[in-house]
Structure 1
Amino acid sequence: MPVADASEEDDALLIDYSHPSWTHETTHARVRGLSRNPVLPETLARRLLKHPAADRDAAVACRREWSDELFDIVAAHPDVRVREMLAQCHGATAEQRARMVDDPDLWVVMALVERQYIREPQPLPPWAYRKLAAQPRFKRRLRLLDPMEVSPEAVAAFADVEDDEIASWARATREPEPQPQPMTAEQARMIASGDSARQRAAIALEPDLPADVVATLAADPDPKVRTSVSMRPEFSEQQRAAIGYQVSTDDRLPTLDWVLDADDEQLQRCVSSAHPGVRRSAACNKRLTADQIATLAADDDFPVRLLLCENHDAVPTDLVVRTFLEARVVTRGRLLRHPAFVGADLTRYADSPDRNARALVVLDRRAPAELIERLSRDEEPAVRSSVAHDARLSQERLLELFEERETTAAAAANPNLPVELMAAILEAPIACVGPPEGSVPVP
């Protein structure tokens, strides 16, 4: 056994590094798992950051809270990537993160205000935004960004700073974009007969196009142009089908304003359309009825279902779960915070034939410990790993999972892992050819 029970006289765990379960491979996995342990004691956290096998990004991102002392130590870390992660860490307080406004690396400073896909940290205090706005290097970089790339709180704060250039940049998001001059019929005909398929596709949805231009674009040899023009509001379903459009699951199509504005019978026609592009825009319409939501929830087109989940709260939990399991987009993590998902009974997926669905049960905080224990013995290693880090596991079962090669990394991330074992992981011999790529060794 790699971990022996302590005697009554000695509370310390006895570690047997000669046991077959302690290999260079498992030690590497355990160090990586320990990097995600949210309650790693500070003394061990400092040692972890120096370990060649550590996942330093995870060590920073997963920590639940920071003492000022530990925060300042990591804020001075020589690895720029570590400091970037700290600047965006939701476990750190706003006041702690604000102390990084004078970081020597611009990318670290920008990380303080950039928007995140998954979870936003607390906004900085007002004085920090004012100090950032006074930095010439920050100002030069900020004005190159779209305000959508910056957190809403930062944009709002910059709108009130004394620097006119930054304030104007931030306030521009509140002002309507100037409307372009209407395209003349002559210009439309010139583009429609031109050599640029990109330009032809760009004008295909323009309102008030002459009928002859629409007919020309509908017969365009480029399928992207035909697909664009096929989503015009004046076409019937038969006319759309006759155009010969091509839409795949991976195609990114424009959101159609005329569909977003539709209601009543027109909206129903959009929901029932055979054109995936029209239905995708319909899924974003805020006026959908319960029946229309149900129709789109059963749509064969994955982007329709994804957009429906992203734009509506009143969707079935099963749809959100199914969409999350199918999704391969960078924003899929947002679905786990969907109102239909949060607080839902996920225990009903415990017996699902889909191992990935069974792995979601652990996210249900009301799932009983007995069920978590049962899933920890699932035939699929991925399911066992999904619960190996959960605090509801008994310590006996946790130590068993720690010994299994497939689950040892997840078990090392369990907050109930004995501190002595955490220390043993960092002390275990390990063969490393070098530090993780992109890291900078700590002197």
Structure 2
Amino acid sequence: MTKEDALPIDNAHQTRARVRGLGRNPALPDRLVPRILAHPAASATDVIHRREWSDELFDIIAAHPDGRLRAMLAQAAQVTAEQRVRMVDDPDLQVVFALLEGPYTRRPQPLPVWAYHKLAEHPGLKRMLRFLHPPELSSAAVAAFTDAQDEEIAAWARTSDEPEPMTAERARAIAAADSVWEKANIALEPVLPADVVAALCADPDPKVRTYVSMRPELSEQQRTAIGYQVSTNDRLPRLAWVLEAGGEQLQRCVSSAHPGLRRSAARNKRLTADQIAKLAADDDFPVRLLLCENQEAVPTDLVVRTYLEARVITRSQLLAHPSIVGGDLTRYADSPHWGARALVVLDRHAPAELIDRLSRDEHPGVRSWVAHDARLSQERLLELFEDPETTEAAAANPNLPVEVMEAILEAPIDTGNPPENPTLVLGHTMPSHEPITEI
């Protein structure tokens, strides 16, 4: 097979799609990574965050003249702490902050204390302290900064461990002032004078009333009387007292009419099977979402249905749920919902014949999901590669021939008039959903 046979280029749009897909290909050879990072159609974020890094390739990109790329590398999920620590002498402040924030993973490996002390010596760091709050950096970095040689940096870090104490006088002053944010912030303080609680319960702002209505000492009747307002789109705080609840108190939270209590209850690790089942049938979408995000003992159907309904930017994390990773997803092959049919490719035990069948599904979304699956025959893969609707996904298939990968990068493209960069608009994190009852 020649490059010309494998890659008939129809237009620049198709070339760009193939380059984007190639950037996500886990089998992209190391020698092609610098080339794709220099390609005008490539997504550097995809290339850097979706691959494992050899020490040789890491050192090449760590020395790249573009500080933006180096900062991405410093936070890539697959980069090890041993590799990241080799960047502590980087002169670019954005790289320093990337190292201090840490990688975008659930359990990031911290750098050694000496490395954080070294980063604290960057001349631009102190100028930025007044614009930062300690939670904006990794907990390991802040902890290391508390005994940094520079006293200004050490004092900044210690502010996260020494919050201003809440006194009765301070609470009354906040409750009598106009700051909705400050009043909502103190509404869940464990110890508040009764007159402050009463004032917050009667506050004209619904946010303040909603926050104070989630106090542990209130009865269901008292909560209702406060007149709180909670919508599906509202982000509510995690209630420490609910997360620590057990026994009868936890049952009251699970059965509460207040969505805020049920949302925090969904995170509680002491939930019984009956309580999980009750929350799984909750009318409030965030309750079901939080249940899937925090409980392993939820059925596969609930996780799949929640994934299909979700419009949050973290929805893809649901696909790492144990009930998805170890579940039988082949039962969705004939689902009326194309999104459920597409999930069959996540089942490691799905036979190649079924994968091939789904690669011919009537919905292009299903075909695109299947196009990057390694169980496809090379013949079928190249057919999908030629299809404009699936060519991007097929370019991400690890079985794509290397000569085709090279041809993608060599294809002519108009660099003088690239498409406008897509804009990600972040509005509500929990927009309205269309409930899915059957899959």
Q: Residues 172 and 324 from structure 1, CA distance in 2 versus in 1: closer, same or farther, beyond 3 angstroms?
A: farther
Q: Which residue, 177, 182, 197 being the options, matches 2:168?
A: 182
For the 8 Å contact 2:49–2:73, the answer to whether it is kept is yes
Q: Does 1:55 align with 2:43?
A: yes
- In the TM superposition, 1:235-274 aligns within 5 A as 235-274=218-257
Q: Percent identity among equivalent residues?
A: 68
For residue 276 of structure 1, report the CA deviation from its aligned partner.
0.9
Q: Which residue of 2 aligns with 1:421?
A: 404
Q: Does 1:104 align with 2:129?
A: no
For the 8 Å contact 1:115–1:149, the answer to whether it is kept is no
Quote the Cα distance in structure 1 between the aligned partners of 2:322 and 2:147. Answer: 33
* TM-score (norm. length: structure 2): 0.82
Partner amino acid for 2:52?
A: R
Quote the Cα distance in structure 2 between the aligned partners of 1:122 and 1:217. Answer: 42
Q: Which residue of 2 aligns with 1:66?
A: 54
Q: Does 1:25 align with 2:13?
A: yes
Quote the Cα distance in structure 1 between the aligned partners of 2:299 and 2:265. Answer: 18
Partner amino acid for 2:44?
A: R
- Segment drifting more, 194-203 vs 329-338: 194-203
Per-residue CA shift, 1:372-427, capped at 9, x if unaligned? Answer: 21221111111111121121111001000001111101111111111111111122
Unpaired stretches in structure 1, ≥5 consecutive residues: 1-5, 7-11, 439-443
Tell me the secondary structure at the aligned position of residue 113 of structure 1.
helix
Q: Alpha carbon RMSD of aligned pairs, Å?
A: 3.4
Q: Residues 437 and 313 from structure 1, CA distance in 2 versus in 1: closer, same or farther, beyond 3 angstroms?
A: same
Q: Does 1:228 align with 2:236?
A: no
Partner amino acid for 2:20?
A: R
For residue 148 of structure 1, report the CA deviation from its aligned partner.
4.2
Q: Which residue of 1 aligns with 2:291?
A: 308
Tell me the secondary structure at the aligned position of residue 15 of structure 1.
helix
For residue 226 of structure 1, report the CA deviation from its aligned partner.
3.1
Q: Does 1:283 align with 2:266?
A: yes
Partner amino acid for 1:320?
A: V
Q: Which residue of 1 aligns with 2:431?
A: none
Quote the Cα distance in structure 2 between the aligned partners of 1:263 and 1:342. Answer: 29
Tell me the secondary structure at the aligned position of residue 385 of structure 1.
helix
For residue 158 of structure 1, report the CA deviation from its aligned partner.
5.7
Tell me the secondary structure at the aligned position of residue 224 of structure 2.
helix
For the 8 Å contact 2:250–2:265, the answer to whether it is kept is yes
Quote the Cα distance in structure 2 between the aligned partners of 1:93 and 1:230. Answer: 45
Q: Residues 209 and 244 from structure 1, CA distance in 2 versus in 1: closer, same or farther, beyond 3 angstroms?
A: same
Q: Which residue of 1 aligns with 2:378?
A: 395
- Segment drifting more, 117-126 vs 355-364: 117-126
Q: Which residue of 1 aligns with 2:365?
A: 382
* TM-score (norm. length: structure 1): 0.81
Q: Which residue, 330, 343, 349 being the options, matches 1:360?
A: 343
Quote the Cα distance in structure 1 between the aligned partners of 2:68 and 2:313. Answer: 20
Q: Does 1:40 align with 2:23?
A: no
Q: Which residue, 308, 326, 333 being the options, matches 1:343?
A: 326
For the 8 Å contact 2:384–2:390, the answer to whether it is kept is yes
Which one has a bigger Cα radius of gyration? 1
Q: Which residue, 15, 22, 31 being the options, matches 2:5?
A: 15
For residue 167 of structure 1, report the CA deviation from its aligned partner.
6.6
Quote the Cα distance in structure 2 between the aligned partners of 1:201 and 1:124. Answer: 36
Q: Residues 59 and 146 from structure 1, CA distance in 2 versus in 1: closer, same or farther, beyond 3 angstroms?
A: same
Quote the Cα distance in structure 1 between the aligned partners of 2:200 and 2:287. Answer: 26
Quote the Cα distance in structure 2 between the aligned partners of 1:62 and 1:258. Answer: 38
Quote the Cα distance in structure 1 between the aligned partners of 2:33 and 2:110. Answer: 26
Quote the Cα distance in structure 2 between the aligned partners of 1:340 and 1:171. Answer: 41
Quote the Cα distance in structure 2 between the aligned partners of 1:422 and 1:205. Answer: 56
Equivalenced residues, count: 421
Partner amino acid for 1:421?
A: V
Q: Residues 34 and 116 from structure 1, CA distance in 2 versus in 1: closer, same or farther, beyond 3 angstroms?
A: same
Q: Which residue of 1 aligns with 2:122?
A: 135
For the 8 Å contact 1:88–1:121, the answer to whether it is kept is no
Per-residue CA shift, 1:211-243, capped at 9, x if unaligned? Answer: 666555545443223323433444433443343
Quote the Cα distance in structure 1 between the aligned partners of 2:125 and 2:346. Answer: 39
Tell me the secondary structure at the aligned position of residue 234 of structure 2.
coil
Tell me the secondary structure at the aligned position of residue 99 of structure 1.
helix
Tell me the secondary structure at the aligned position of residue 34 of structure 1.
helix
Tell me the secondary structure at the aligned position of residue 340 of structure 1.
helix
Quote the Cα distance in structure 1 between the aligned partners of 2:97 and 2:188. Answer: 37
Q: Which residue of 1 aligns with 2:277?
A: 294
For the 8 Å contact 2:77–2:104, the answer to whether it is kept is no
Q: Residues 368 and 155 from structure 1, CA distance in 2 versus in 1: closer, same or farther, beyond 3 angstroms?
A: farther
For the 8 Å contact 1:66–1:91, the answer to whether it is kept is no
For the 8 Å contact 2:6–2:404, the answer to whether it is kept is no
Q: Which residue, 75, 86, 90 being the options, matches 2:62?
A: 75
Q: Which residue of 2 aligns with 1:322?
A: 305
For residue 434 of structure 1, report the CA deviation from its aligned partner.
4.8
For the 8 Å contact 1:52–1:436, the answer to whether it is kept is no
Tell me the secondary structure at the aligned position of residue 390 of structure 1.
coil
